[in-house]
Amino acid sequence: MYTKVSPSRGSGSPRVIGFYEPDTGSCQYICIDEATRDAVVIDVVQEFDPRSATTRFDSAAWALDTIAGEGLNLSLILDTHPHADHLMAAAWLKEKTGVPMAIGEKVKEIATLWSDLYNLPDAFDPTRDFDRLFADGDTFMVGSLPAKVILSPGHTLGSITYVIGDAIFAHDTFMQPDAGTSRADFPGGSAAVLYDSLMQILKEPDDSRIFVGHDYGTKTRQDAAWESTVAEQRAKNSHIGGGVSKADYVTVRETRDAKLPLPDRMLHALQCNLRGGRLPDPESDGHSYFKIPANRF
């Protein structure tokens, strides 16, 4: 497992273990309050092979082994949005630990949108499948660390950011400064709305750490990376750094998005992730089956 540790800076600052899933370029996190040994996990991946439709839980198992090995108390299983490029491991983690799982409340609107795209009117019920649905401005604690929720739509209409102490888990909004920002062309997405979300995150203190949801390297940087600061993103982000206007950003983002293919796991992932990471209900033979819409994208 490719990992990097961002140490606590002292009181009010969590230690963050970032661990990387290379098939989808996904950055996953364990966020730890050193004072109480409480921890949360954020955006943990359920590995999926789109060729054979087989699943694994390598990342999730590694996270649980790490938590157990350090003697940590896992208090919440967090996701920032129903991901389009990988399957979530939240339901599996809850099954193994009994710990509640949470996501943003606007996942209900995303579920309605995708129920129509899949023609599955009764398949998704986020109120049933998640234990907590966060609203913009909600607060909670990770041990002694205060945490807040910021609604950050644009990539999806219901994405949320978690701010835990001085750590910002900004998911598919920012990428690393040399890589820019995330795409905004999925159903319910909007480049203009994403710009506003980026600006909202940049209101946090300059030295706050930003942990992103994905990294694929660049032409000049081969190693995956996922940590920056608010100040670095404001000054150096290749899409918005230095005060790029909203209009100019939307032009750049929409031009780039028009050239990007859909993720190869998207039509499988949303059908699973809108159920908290659970596969479709088994049929009479005991197996689960995906329903994939043809010619909708």
Domain map (residue ranges) of the chain:
2-260
pLDDT at 8: 98
Q: Is the pLDDT of residue 57 over 90?
A: yes
What mean pLDDT, rounded, does the chain reach? 97
Options 3.60.15.10, 3.30.420.40, 1.10.150.130, 2.10.50.10; CATH for 2-260 is 3.60.15.10
Q: Is the pLDDT of residue 1 over 90?
A: no
What does pTM read for this prediction?
0.97
Q: Is the pLDDT of residue 259 over 90?
A: yes
17 or 1, which is more confident: 17
- 102 close to 77: Cβ distance less than 8 angstroms: yes
* 266: alpha, beta or left? (left if phi > 0; alpha if psi -120 to 50): alpha
pLDDT at 10: 96
Residue 207 CA, distance from chain mean position: 22
pLDDT at 216: 95
Residues 277-290 have pLDDT tens digits of: 999 999 999 999 99
Question: What average pLDDT does this structure show over 235-256?
Answer: 97
The pair phi, psi for residue 184, each rounded to 5°, is: -140, 30
Hey, CA dihedral for 201, 207, 211, 212, is it positive or negative? positive
Q: Is the pLDDT of residue 93 over 90?
A: yes
Question: What average pLDDT does this structure show over 258-273?
Answer: 95
Residues 201-225 have pLDDT tens digits of: 999 999 999 999 999 999 899 899 9
Q: Is the pLDDT of residue 243 over 90?
A: yes
